[in-house]
């Protein structure tokens, strides 16, 4: 274990770095054990684990932020715990008590304190909790045992350039089915997204945007982030659909846009054929934070919003408010911040 690390915080991307300690807890005979921190980043599991064959697994993503005063804080970890439990329920996996989830995250952050990027570098510590079905099993049925793990990685921007606008193209594929698991954070949705993502990147786009799987007429997700748009009347709009992942960032923005920026906010259908109702658009998520959308390619035409190079003024205000809260520079709504 190293206490001195040599990381170029300002130039971090979104890549795996092995940190010192991760948390592992096992569910067996109907209950979770107390969990331990371990230096071992390898899991030794049965070849017949349901996570490997039938996708019985889910994950989360949240971040730890170092404030100006040096204290480290988590942003709304209870929301991640609730969403993980919703994913667990959908895949017949045992739920994690919310306090256990938050305690595991805190333990991992504390144990890897020197990997929490310094304030002002633009980097943060990304936490990846996950649950997998393990143990010997061959039929399509829930696993006999489960592992809950939380590891962490210091990261920079998910989309290259951070607050610089990037372009997206509309995918010809779906990431989820109309009544499938789009609203749960399960690996299968991401496996389905790898190929369309690759096609988009090869054509020079940051990622692809998914339309609703039933009618292919409404915007759903922006790769691994939610969509929002600002109308010409300064309304904050974000899609409403049962196959979108309920983004914690998106619900935070709905609140901040209304209460801090005094905008009218709506969750409603966003028709791709009506995309010029927006003067600004963005992708939002834990990894993406807020990434301005320069343009969207649809039917061989690029529709540009505010600009392909400059962030729009309302998107910038939303970013400053959200990131300011996450860094402890702006007062947070009650209950949003948990100090480590
Ligand atoms: N949509 C998808 C498909 C995601 O993977 C993520 C990332 O978590 C999001 C949206 C954003 O969700 P959140 O803001 O909770 O990170
Ligand atoms: C997140 O924002 O936490 C995500 O899940 C994005 C990701 C899959 C890297």
- pLDDT of 188 higher than 90: yes
The span from the CA of 229 to the CA of 236, in Å, is 6
Cβ pair 137, 145 in contact under 8 A: no
What are the angstrom distances between the C-alpha of 233 and each of 157, 161, 259, 276, 277?
A: 30, 28, 17, 12, 9
Confidence of residue 3 (pLDDT cuts 50, 70, 90): low
The span from the CA of 163 to the CA of 292, in Å, is 6
- pLDDT of 325 higher than 60: yes
Q: Over the stretch 207-242, which tens digit does the pLDDT of each residue have?
A: 999 999 999 999 999 999 999 999 999 999 999 999
- Nearest alpha carbon to residue 170 among 199, 201, 211, 214: 211
CA of 4 to the centre of ligand 1 (A): 32
- pLDDT of 173 higher than 80: yes
- pLDDT of 328 higher than 80: yes
Residue 236 burial (CB < 10 Å; 0-12/13-18/19+)? buried
The span from the CA of 124 to the CA of 113, in Å, is 12
- pLDDT of 2 higher than 70: no
The span from the CA of 109 to the CA of 95, in Å, is 22
The pLDDT assigned to 160 comes to 75
Give the CA dihedral 180, 185, 187, 193, nearest 10 degrees.
70
The pLDDT assigned to 159 comes to 81
Active site residue 28: no
Mean pLDDT of 291-299: 95
Mean pLDDT of 172-186: 96
Residue 238 burial (CB < 10 Å; 0-12/13-18/19+)? buried
Ligand 2 pocket, CB under 6 A = 61, 224, 285-287
Residue 316 burial (CB < 10 Å; 0-12/13-18/19+)? middle
- pLDDT of 144 higher than 80: yes
The span from the CA of 237 to the CA of 253, in Å, is 10
Confidence of residue 5 (pLDDT cuts 50, 70, 90): confident
Mean pLDDT of 168-177: 96
Locate the ligand 2 atom nearest the alpha carbon of residue 185 and give its number.
5
Ligand 1 pocket, CB under 6 A = 61, 221, 224-226, 245, 247-250, 285-286
CATH tag for 9-155 (out of 3.40.50.300, 3.40.50.700, 3.90.660.10, 3.30.470.10): 3.30.470.10
Residue nearest to atom 5 of ligand 2 (CA): 61
- Nearest alpha carbon to residue 172 among 190, 191, 197: 197
Give the CA dihedral 41, 46, 48, 49, nearest 10 degrees.
-50
CA of 248 to the centre of ligand 2 (A): 11
- Extended beta strands in the chain, E state: 22-28, 31-32, 36-38, 57-59, 62-66, 72-75, 124-134, 145-155, 166-170, 207-211, 219-222, 226-231, 235-238, 264-267, 278-285, 289-298, 301-304, 337-339
CATH class belonging to 166-327: alpha beta
CA of 244 to the centre of ligand 2 (A): 14
Locate the ligand 1 atom nearest the alpha carbon of residue 252 and give its number.
14
Residue nearest to atom 7 of ligand 2 (CA): 224
Buried b (16+ CB within 10 A) or exposed e, 167-191: bbbbbeebbbeeebbbbbbbbbbee
Percent of the chain residues past pLDDT 90, beyond the cut: 95
CA of 136 to the centre of ligand 1 (A): 32
The pLDDT assigned to 192 comes to 95
Mean pLDDT of 68-86: 98
Question: How remote is the C-alpha of 22 from its chain's centroid?
Answer: 19
3-state secondary structure of 277: helix
Query: From the CA of 221, which ligand is nearest?
Result: 1
Locate the ligand 1 atom nearest the alpha carbon of residue 62 and give its number.
16
Ligand 2 probe mutation, 61, 152, 226, most atoms within 8 A of CB? 61
Neighbours of 301 (CB within 10 A): 8
Ligand 1 probe mutation, 183, 256, 285, 322, most atoms within 8 A of CB? 285
- Identify the active-site residue in 18, 28, 160, 185: 185
- Nearest alpha carbon to residue 57 among 127, 140, 148, 139: 148
Percent of the chain residues past pLDDT 70, beyond the cut: 99
Ligand 2 probe mutation, 155, 224, 248, 288, most atoms within 8 A of CB? 224
CA of 138 to the centre of ligand 2 (A): 30
Locate the ligand 2 atom nearest the alpha carbon of residue 285 and give its number.
2
Domain span(s) for CATH 3.20.10.10 in the chain: 166-327
Residue 166, C-beta contacts closer than 8 angstroms, at least 6 positions apart: 159, 160, 205, 206, 291, 292, 293, 294
Q: What is the mean pLDDT of the chain?
A: 96
Confidence of residue 312 (pLDDT cuts 50, 70, 90): very high
Locate the ligand 2 atom nearest the alpha carbon of residue 190 and give its number.
8
Ligand 2 probe mutation, 155, 160, 287, most atoms within 8 A of CB? 287
Q: Over the stretch 41-57, which tens digit does the pLDDT of each residue have?
A: 999 999 999 999 999 99
The span from the CA of 190 to the CA of 127, in Å, is 18
Confidence of residue 157 (pLDDT cuts 50, 70, 90): confident
């Amino acid at each position: 274990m190293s206490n001195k690390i040599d990381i170029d915080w300002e130039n971090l991307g979104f890549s795996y770095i092995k940190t010192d300690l991760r948390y592992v807890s096992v569910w067996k005979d109907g209950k979770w054990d107390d969990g331990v921190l371990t230096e071992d980043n390898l899991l030794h599991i049965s070849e017949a684990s349901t996570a490997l064959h039938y996708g019985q697994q889910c994950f989360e993503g949240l971040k730890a932020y170092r404030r100006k005063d040096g204290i480290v804080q988590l942003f709304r970890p209870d929301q991640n715990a609730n969403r993980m439990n919703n994913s667990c329920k959908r895949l017949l996996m045992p739920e994690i008590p919310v306090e256990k989830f938050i305690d595991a995250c805190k333990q991992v952050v504390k144990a890897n304190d020197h990997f929490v990027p310094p304030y002002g570098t633009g980097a943060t510590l990304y936490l990846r909790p996950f649950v997998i079905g393990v143990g010997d099993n061959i039929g399509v049925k829930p696993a006999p045992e489960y592992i809950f793990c939380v590891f962490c990685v210091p990261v920079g921007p998910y989309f290259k350039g951070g607050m610089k606008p990037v372009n997206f193209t509309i995918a010809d594929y779906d990431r989820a089915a109309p009544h499938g698991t789009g609203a749960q954070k399960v690996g299968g949705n991401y496996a389905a997204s790898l190929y369309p993502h690759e096609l988009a990147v090869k054509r020079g786009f940051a990622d692809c945007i998914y339309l609703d799987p039933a009618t292919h007429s409404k915007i759903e997700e922006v790769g691994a982030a939610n969509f929002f748009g600002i109308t010409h009347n300064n309304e904050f709009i974000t899609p409403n659909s049962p196959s979108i992942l309920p983004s914690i960032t998106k619900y935070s923005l709905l609140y901040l846009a209304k209460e801090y920026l005094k905008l009218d906010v709506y969750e409603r259908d966003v028709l791709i054929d009506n995309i010029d109702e927006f003067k600004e658009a963005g992708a939002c998520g834990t990894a993406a934070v807020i990434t301005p959308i320069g343009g969207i390619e649809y039917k061989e035409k690029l529709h540009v919003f505010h600009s392909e190079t400059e962030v729009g003024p309302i998107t910038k205000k939303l970013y400053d408010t959200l990131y300011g809260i996450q860094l402890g520079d702006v007062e947070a709504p009650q209950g949003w911040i948990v100090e480590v």
